Structure 1
Amino acid sequence: MLDPEAVEAFLLVAELQSFTKAAGALNTTQAAISLRLRRLEEGLGQRLLERTPRHVRLTVAGAHFLQPAKDYMASGRRAAAIFAQTPARLSIGITHHLVGPNLPKLLSRMNERETGVTLHLRTAGTRELLDRYDAGDLDAVIILRYDESRRDGEFLTEERFGWFAAPDFIIPDEAPLPLAIQAEPCNLRAMALKTLDSGSIAWREAFVGTGAISVSAAAEAGLAVALLAYKAAPSQLVDISEKTKLPPLPKRDIVLVSSVTGERAASVLRRLVLAFQAL
């Protein structure tokens, strides 16, 4: 019989390509993950993973075992769900500046392994999400930190920003720079205008929308240049920062503020965070 914990460890290491990240997702240690995998490989009589100081890769046997392992775990969850308690609820907010075409990939990370957790997702501006979190409407929020006014939260990663436009977009030589931008109050709007003003670059509003999705669409349509986080920028757009005279943009910390309790909800949140960091 296969050990479900060992199979789950194998699937996580294969997906995240990291023993460290897999250990974080399962709230355990690298040593424990290594032990589970060694026992799994000994039981199967096959080496499933190749591990080097820089890479973790599936062997041929590991690649063949991957889908059966997923099916095995799914069957176990369906069997256990017969006697499951009321589904847990996880209400999470993500700043709309970071939500782009990678959202389906982000959500798919919880789809294969987690049952019994209903995910409520809200996207909005940082200030609104924090207000809703403080009011108890959200269990956790993933936001951009713009200043030192609020220091609670766990640092996840640092986000880069760029000036994005359609590949064939031509910046006018004399006319003001057309911008796809969000309405006030918006921290990214303030960042864009402050950066352009510091470089003495004239600009005009060509499109005003809400969230990265809307301003990205305007940039894809060739209407304007959009300031976007790299995590939210569609692949159809290109960062024109290096080949233009547009000034560089500052980086911002991405942080998690959470009050999640309960093992199932916390497990889903950990995996979403790991997937978010990997985008």
Structure 2
Amino acid sequence: MRPLDTDAVQAFLLVADLKSFTRAAEVMETTQSVVSIKIKKLETQLGRRLFERTPRLVRLSADGGAFLEPARALLEAHQRAINSFTVEQRRLIVGISHHVVGAELPALLKRLGRVEPQVVLELQVATSRDVLDQFDSGVLDAALVLRNEDRRDGETILEETFGWMAAPDFEHRPGDPLRLAAQSETCSVRTTATALLDARGIAWTEVFVGGGVATIGAAVSAGLAVAALSRRVAPAGTIDIGPSLGLPPLPSGDVVLYVNTTDNNARSALRTLVAAMRSTAL
């Protein structure tokens, strides 16, 4: 058998990790059709079907699952060989809005580490406003935030849909104020949510103030309160109870990427991070 094409192996691993030919193409800076061709050639060379494809789902076949770890070991060995005489690591400082990253963060970092092991990622999580201030001051290499209506630049990478998320067993007694979990008053999502409730004349009370989606999500999962959260980052098992309680629909919001680096490794790492985030919205 001829030696395996490492680009094809990389394409296989990206599709396996991101569960999407489109997202894999984004990381490789190519097209979906090129990735498909690489995978097809690899399958032909191996004599095995590596993926099962449906219009909405890409998953490993049994043979693909068997090939996964050996393929990862092969690509890692190849990367170590390439980096034999390279000792410099690139630090990438990224600011992310609280409402953009949630329980999927470990999976995002795992995917990033596999593709760009030479990049040291420094992640700073804050409100969108604070992240943008840091980016503008030159502290950050990149920023991922919810779009500020006063600022129309940046690259839109996905659209977040928000809901009034709660635990399935959350209890609300008619006539009582709606119990909310939210961030501080500087949070734009909190401001929007409470303004909508006020406009509808719906009484509410803040019972938990968190320092990010993880803490707010914990309060929601515990059944303490309802929170205005992106469905993508809301804790697993929570549901949107807005329709059942007659709460006003929450507007969607664009997640925007700002970049202030020309370093190729750093930009490659950002492509991987963005593709991984998009894959969680599938």
Answer whether TM exceeds 0.5 for this pair: yes
Alpha carbons of structure 1 residues 171 and 90: separation in structure 2 relative to 1, 3 Å:
same
Of 30-39 and 239-248, deviating more is 30-39
Of 176-185 and 212-221, deviating more is 212-221
Q: Which residue of 2 aligns with 1:123?
A: 125
Alpha carbons of structure 1 residues 58 and 142: separation in structure 2 relative to 1, 3 Å:
same
Alignment of 1:93-242 (within 5 A): 93-147=95-149, 149-242=150-243
Inter-partner Cα distance in structure 1 for 2:252 and 2:262: 31
Inter-partner Cα distance in structure 1 for 2:146 and 2:233: 13
TM-score (norm 2): 0.90
Match of 1:43 among 23, 33, 45: 45
Paired letter, 2:110: S
Match of 2:29 among 27, 30, 33: 27
Paired letter, 2:255: I
8 Å CA contact 2:180–2:206 kept in 1: the answer is: yes
Give a deviation string over 1:103-122, Cα, whole Å, max 9, x none: 11111111223221100101
Alpha carbons of structure 1 residues 58 and 207: separation in structure 2 relative to 1, 3 Å:
closer
8 Å CA contact 2:242–2:249 kept in 1: the answer is: yes
Unaligned runs of 5+ in 2: none
8 Å CA contact 2:161–2:231 kept in 1: the answer is: yes
Inter-partner Cα distance in structure 2 for 1:17 and 1:193: 37
Q: Which residue of 2 aligns with 1:87?
A: 89
8 Å CA contact 1:73–1:113 kept in 2: the answer is: no
Match of 1:62 among 38, 61, 64: 64
Paired letter, 1:68: P
Alpha carbons of structure 1 residues 61 and 153: separation in structure 2 relative to 1, 3 Å:
same
Q: CA deviation at 1:56?
A: 4.0
Give a deviation string over 1:34-77, Cα, whole Å, max 9, x none: 44334433433434345565554444433321211011111222
Q: Which residue of 2 aligns with 1:243?
A: 244
Alpha carbons of structure 1 residues 28 and 170: separation in structure 2 relative to 1, 3 Å:
same
Alignment of 1:6-17 (within 5 A): 6-17=8-19
8 Å CA contact 1:95–1:144 kept in 2: the answer is: yes
8 Å CA contact 1:95–1:143 kept in 2: the answer is: yes
> Once superposed, what is the RMSD of the aligned Cα atoms?
2.0
Alpha carbons of structure 1 residues 82 and 166: separation in structure 2 relative to 1, 3 Å:
same
Alpha carbons of structure 1 residues 100 and 20: separation in structure 2 relative to 1, 3 Å:
closer
Alpha carbons of structure 1 residues 209 and 55: separation in structure 2 relative to 1, 3 Å:
closer
TM-score (norm 1): 0.91
Q: CA deviation at 1:196?
A: 0.3
Unaligned runs of 5+ in 1: none
8 Å CA contact 2:100–2:255 kept in 1: the answer is: no
Give a deviation string over 1:106-154, Cα, whole Å, max 9, x none: 111112232211001010001111111111111111111141x111111
8 Å CA contact 2:115–2:269 kept in 1: the answer is: no
Paired letter, 2:85: F
Inter-partner Cα distance in structure 2 for 1:30 and 1:99: 26
8 Å CA contact 2:23–2:276 kept in 1: the answer is: no
Inter-partner Cα distance in structure 2 for 1:191 and 1:121: 26
Q: Identity of aligned pairs, percent?
A: 48
8 Å CA contact 2:23–2:278 kept in 1: the answer is: no
Give a deviation string over 1:175-195, Cα, whole Å, max 9, x none: 222221222222111111111
Inter-partner Cα distance in structure 2 for 1:23 and 1:275: 12
